[in-house]
Each structure stands twice: as C-alpha cells, then as structure tokens.
Amino acid sequence: MRTNQQTTLKTSVTLTGIGVHSGNPAEITIHPAKANHGIAFLRTGTTTGNDRLIKAHFACVSATELCTVIGDVETGAVATIEHLMSALYGLGVDNALIEIDGPEMPILDGSARPFVTAIDSVGLTTCGAPRRWIKVLQPVRIEAGRAFAELRPIDRGFRLDVEIDFESPVIGRSRKAMDLTPAAYRREIAPARTFGMMKDVERYWKAGFALGASLDNTVAVGETAVVNPEGLRFADEFVRHKFLDAVGDLALAGLPIQGAYRSYCGGHRMNVGILEALFADRANYAIVEGQGTRREPARAEFGLGIAAFAAEL
C-alpha cells in the first residue's frame, strides 16, 4: 500500500460487544468511504429517533473523562472512540464511516487488537487521491501541573514519545517512544489493554463509569499486583496502552500528522488539548500532500482554528 495515497476498507466489517462504561450491548459496522471523506460516525438508535452523523474531529469532542466522547448526549453521542480511532490511524486508514447503534463503542478485549484483526480481515484499498498531512511547523506545548504535552516539527513521519508516572508500585514510571508505522503498531501497540485501579472501582460505579468492566476487558491493578490471572501482555503494557490512546485521540486532528508528539502524565484531555493548541494559530501547521508539497487549504475546509469547522460538523 503506497503511503502517499488515501486508503479505505475494501468492504464493510461488523463487530459486537458491550461498552466498558455503560455495560450496554453495541454493534458497529466499519464501512468503506470515498476519498476526502475522512472518518465519521453514523449514530443510530438515538433517543430522538434521528440518525446523526458526527465527524471524528477534536472540535466535536464533548467529554474526556476516562474516555473520549464526540457528539452531544441529548441528540446523539459516541463514547470510548479512542481504541477504534487508534486502530484506524495505526493501520493508515484515511476514510471510513462507522455505523453504531448505541452511545458507546464496544470495548471488546480492552485493546485495539480486535479492531486491527477486523480491518485486516477485509483489507485496505487506495482511493485514487493523494494523502494529505498536517505538518507541524513550530513547537506547541500545553501544561497542567506536572503534566505536559507537546508537538514538534520533524522531517518525515509521526513519532510518539509517551511517559507515565503513577504512584502505584504496580504501574510506576515508564516510557514508550516509537515511529508510528502499521507494522510496529500491530506488533507493539494494538494488543495493549486498558487498565484501572481496584481501589477506584466503587467511585467509578457511583459516577456511572466502568459498569461493563471485567477481567475480560480490563487490566485490574491491585495494591501489589495485577489481578488478572493471565498477567500482562507486555511488561510495560500500561504505557503502551497510553500510547495507544494518544494515537486514537490525535487521530481527531482529521488528517495524519507529520510531527513528533511527547507527553508526560497525559491523558485524553491533554491529547485533545494539544490539537486545540496546534490549530489555534495558523502559523503552527501547514497542509501538505505526500509529506512534502505544501497545499494551502480553502478557508471553508480548514480555516483558522476550531470555529471554522463548525458549519460542516
């Protein structure tokens, strides 16, 4: 597959499961889409009875507590999109329509691997149009206490460097840095599962979170050890999953990124926040084709920051 050409799925593929937070059943179908469509969610089964099309874009994010949510709860939203978005970005899928019949994505095994397997089962095809990239032109950084996230320019590709630092002795401090390619993503990132602290379970339940969590879809962290009988898939599975989440959240830029991402003690809020900071100033980025040729976007397509997207979302 040529990396300078846009891609989509060869045919549709369906997955079913339950939401990790809602506990409700969910079915999704990932459909092929034409060139320049991007990634979008078609939310069916809304309380209003009206289907809603929601662009997978940071300007559509409505919540980032424990997961990433796009859309509006009253008219139709989709929660926990980060694992599928991560798989699509990691495999280099530019265009897809995700049809979903409920308010939350299925968690499956807690990683992106089932999504990768589903996409690989149908394969990818090119769309007959050049791939466009968001090229980072100058450093952008945000901070929140000791945590930070930043984007910097690089010559080619997309590199992520993610570091976590938990008080839990089971998790501790670790760091994962890697150039993002489909092969590396499949091997090193996609299998890493979401995780949570056993001591926080009751608090999550009272807040309406983790109602579908189990040892089948979450790494449960006790005071001194992982509770899951099978243990970890990687010695550093925790930071690999945070890397996975960062890929999924940064996919909400709307186009692949040419740049280097670095975070310390970040999360969904900071991943989305760095995109807001990047697009807040037109001097921070350019749209290029084939990671080289500069393409000045029409104002209606990208515009000057978040507000310019509102009319087409």
Q: Which residues are catalytic?
A: 268
Q: What b/e string do you get for 148-176 counting C-beta neighbours within 10 Å, with b at 16 or more? A: bbbbeeeeebbbbbbbbebeeebbeebeb
155 belongs to an annotated ligand binding site: no
> For residue 59, what is the DSSP state?
G
161 belongs to an annotated ligand binding site: no
Packing angle of the helix pair 237-250, 82-91 (nearest 10 deg): 80
> For residue 224, what is the DSSP state?
S
21 belongs to an annotated ligand binding site: no
> For residue 218, what is the DSSP state?
-
Helix, strand, coil share of the chain (percent; to 5): 25, 35, 40
Q: How far apart (Å, rounded) are the C-alpha atoms in residues 189 and 175?
A: 13
Q: For residues 72 and 59, is the Cβ–Cβ distance under 8 A? A: no
Nearest to 239 by CA among 196, 186, 194, 176: 176
Residue 131's Cβ-side half-sphere holds a number of Cα atoms within 13 Å equal to 26
Q: How far apart (Å, rounded) are the C-alpha atoms in residues 83 and 94?
A: 16
Residue set of the binding site for Zn(2+): 83, 241, 245
Residue set of the binding site: 83, 241, 245
